């Protein structure tokens, strides 16, 4: 880390903002200076909890506090406007997933940030999961041989209260989608990120999406039709640009909810990650460390979001934000910039289009 101390304002006070504040509090070179919330009681409680100031208006906060960075934790479909406001003031932005609810809005965010010369980064904590990093290393080393398939399964549950009329979850305008866009997007990003490391995709540019096309179905199976505007159940098949195939299962309709998993397999090996456990790590070219990896990652020590969205650890956010600050120190593009954060949304948007039109759809 460099010597610079970063002053960070958090825009949008809800469950995820607490994780951001805790993560920032664990970093020696960052401080939360303000939180923005239109609800005074929530705002003042946040300010008390994290020893910062409360503002009802994001632009007022940026004008008065002049933070180095704003972290955007508003509802998903309300990310674009704070980015525009920050860009006008030369303030860097790190934004929760999804970066926005469709690629058109993400592309606008990217243009605004680039024109202003600010850095815009995204949040995908699964990329900092030690189990995922070990699997990606094996992918990059070609240990899977001819990559054949991938699988992500997010068999979660959200009760009706989660989608109640006074909440933004489950709405097209602010959620942009359901089980895929809000919950499974973490594993959608992890899947494309892992597969992109395969040597057979080395000719792709880092900004190119490794998924070629998708075919999908979506449904509402666990909640009333008039309760949510989006899917609570989705199933999709992905074709990657190297010919590998993958499957997605995403749900908030599966009571009581259980652990999410991701599996990759090829002609020389297979690996499976369940939350933070590595349950399978088996290759033809067996290495001594493989057994040690299985032993090291054999247990689950952290709570999951299977039925409670706030039960997850904020440790991944800490690493994600730390990496963003490190990139600022070095004057470099962050590993999860807006172009990288766009990829999962592009895949999900193609899934929704395929489900609506009943045909395969290319990923933009």
Which domains occur in the chain, in start order?
Answer: 6-125 (3.40.50.720), 126-309+337-362 (3.30.360.10)
Rounded to whole angstroms, the Cα distance separating 166 from 150 reads: 37
At residue 23, φ and ψ (nearest 5 deg) are: -60, -45
Predicted confidence (pLDDT) per residue in 19-74, tens digit: 999 999 999 999 999 999 999 999 999 999 999 999 999 999 999 999 999 999 99
Output the CA angle 337-338-343, nearest 5 degrees.
105
Polymer length in residues for the chain? 364
pLDDT at 300 over 90: no
Other Cβ atoms closer than 10 A to 283: 17
Predicted local distance difference test score (pLDDT) of residue 328: 98
Sign of CA dihedral 327, 328, 332, 334: positive
- Inform me whether the pLDDT recorded for 282 exceeds 90: yes
**Residue 234: DSSP 8-state:** E
Confidence label for 303 from pLDDT (cuts 50, 70 and 90): low
pLDDT over 90 at 346, yes or no? yes
Q: So what's the pLDDT on residue 302?
A: 67
DSSP 163: G
Q: Within 13 Å of residue 32, how many CA atoms lie on the same side as its CB?
A: 29
Q: Give the single-character DSSP code of 171.
A: -
pLDDT band of residue 87 (cuts 50, 70, 90) is very high
For 241-310, give the DSSP string: TTS-EEEEEEESBSTT----EEEEEETTEEEEEETTEEEEEEESS--HHHHHHHHHT-S--S---SS-TT
* Helices (runs of H) and strands (runs of E) counted in the chain: 10, 14
Cα(70)–Cα(87) distance, rounded to whole angstroms?
A: 10
Could you tell me the pLDDT band of residue 269, with boundaries at 50, 70 and 90? very high
Is the distance from CB of 130 to CB of 281 less than 8 angstroms? no
Q: β-strand 6-11 against 30-36: which pairing, if any?
A: parallel
Segment 263-290 mean pLDDT: 97
Spatial separation of the C-alpha atoms in residues 172 and 160, rounded to whole Å: 17
């Amino acid at each position: 880390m460099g010597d610079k101390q970063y002053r960070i304002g958090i825009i949008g006070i809800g469950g995820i903002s607490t994780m951001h504040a805790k993560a920032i509090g664990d970093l020696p070179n960052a401080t939360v200076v303000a939180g923005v919330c239109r609800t005074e009681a929530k705002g003042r409680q946040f300010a008390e909890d994290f020893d910062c100031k409360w503002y009802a208006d994001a632009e007022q906060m940026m004008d008065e506090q002049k933070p180095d960075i704003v972290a955007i934790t508003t509802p998903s479909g309300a990310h674009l406007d704070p980015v525009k406001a920050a860009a006008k003031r030369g303030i860097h932005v790190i934004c929760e997933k999804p970066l926005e609810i469709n690629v058109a809005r993400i592309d606008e965010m990217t243009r605004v940030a680039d024109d202003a010369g600010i850095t815009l980064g995204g949040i995908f904590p699964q990329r900092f999961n030690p189990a995922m990093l070990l699997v990606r290393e094996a992918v990059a080393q070609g240990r899977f041989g001819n990559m054949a398939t991938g699988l992500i399964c997010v068999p979660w549950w959200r009760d009706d209260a989660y989608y109640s009329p006074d909440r933004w979850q489950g709405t097209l305008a602010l959620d942009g989608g359901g089980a895929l866009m809000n919950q499974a997007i973490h594993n959608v990003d992890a899947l494309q990120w892992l597969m992109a490391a395969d040597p057979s995709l080395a000719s792709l540019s880092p900004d190119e999406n490794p998924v070629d096309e998708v075919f999908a179905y979506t449904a509402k199976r666990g909640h009333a039709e008039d309760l949510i505007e989006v899917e609570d159940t989705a199933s999709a098949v992905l074709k990657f640009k190297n010919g590998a195939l993958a499957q997605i299962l995403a749900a908030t309709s599966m009571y009581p909810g259980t652990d999410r998993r991701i599996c990759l397999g090829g002609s020389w090996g297979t690996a499976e990650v369940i939350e933070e456990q590595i349950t399978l790590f088996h290759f033809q070219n067996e290495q001594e460390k493989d057994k040690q990896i299985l032993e090291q990652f054999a247990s689950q020590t952290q709570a999951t979001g299977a039925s409670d969205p706030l039960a997850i650890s904020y440790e991944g956010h800490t690493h994600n934000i730390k990496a963003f600050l490190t990139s600022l120190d070095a004057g470099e593009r962050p590993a999860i910039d807006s172009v990288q954060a766009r990829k999962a949304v592009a895949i999900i948007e193609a899934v929704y289009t395929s489900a609506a039109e009943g045909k395969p759809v290319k990923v933009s």
